[in-house]
Homo-oligomer: A and B are copies of this chain.
Amino acid sequence: MSPIAKIKTDGSTEEKIKDAARKLFMQKGFEATKTRDIANEAGINLALLNYYFRSKEKLFEIIVKENMGQFMEIISNIVNNEKTTIQDKVEALVANYIDMLTQFPDMPLFIMNSIKVDPERIKIRQRFSGSYFMKQINEAIKAGKIAPMNPMNIMLNIVGLTIFPFVARPMFLNKGGITIEEFGTLMQERKKLIPGWIKSMLEAKK
């Protein structure tokens, strides 16, 4: 089960508010989500939001931090595993992201927007650059096993190929587009295809 799904959803007022806030913030963003919307969605009195979380801002920060945490944990665990190969890691990254985003498709756009508003909030990049994965890649380049290039390109390609479809998802699902099911199938296909594409990228000696 995806880590995010493990977030406890007991019946407590605090959790009801956080669940409602998570849903609405992800759907509509910070500004467009009104405290009264959250209170209604959670089925609680408006004042309880401030009672438990002091302010809309603080509540938002908690939600963002939790979501970021999910993203991070997935990356860190895979990317610092010293027992797996480069290709193993690519497969694991792609599969885990696609599974997670299938469950929470609004997350990428939400996180990108959050970072844009407050860039200090997160340093996903560092997770990559300081990782064992990067060490492996640099060694492979030195050994001539993969084409020499700025390693940031590799990260951008893995993440871009995986996440971008979810960022662009609303574009596909409009009238005349594809259905949610078809989109899901396409993503499952890509789960298998992307690692192959990355592999041929790494090998392509221009």
A153 CB to closest chain B CB, in angstroms?
A: 7
Enumerate chain B residues within 8 angstroms of A173, measured Cβ to Cβ. 119
> What 1/0 flags go to A75-116 for Cβ under 8 Å of B?
000000000000000000000000000000000010011011
Q: How large is the interface on A (under 10, 10 to 19, 20 to 34, 35 or more residues)?
A: 35 or more
- Distance in angstroms between the alpha carbons of A46 and B198 in the assembled complex: 52
The B-contacting residues of A in range 151-185, CB under 8 angstroms, are: 152-153, 156-157, 159-161, 163-165, 167-168, 170-177
- Distance in angstroms between the alpha carbons of A136 and B20 in the assembled complex: 47
User: Interface centre among A116, A125, A163, by most B CB within 10 Å?
Assistant: A116
Tell me the number of copies of this protein. 2
Say whether A165 contacts B161, CB under 8 Å: no
Enumerate chain B residues within 8 angstroms of A172, measured Cβ to Cβ. 125
A31 within 8 A of B: yes
11 A-B pairs with CB atoms under 8 Å apart are: A29-B29, A109-B109, A119-B170, A119-B173, A119-B175, A120-B174, A124-B171, A153-B193, A156-B161, A156-B164, A160-B168
If the complex has contacts A186-B152, A197-B201, A197-B204, are A116 and B170 also in contact, measured as CB distance less than 8 A? yes
A12 within 8 A of B: no
Say whether A156 contacts B168, CB under 8 Å: yes
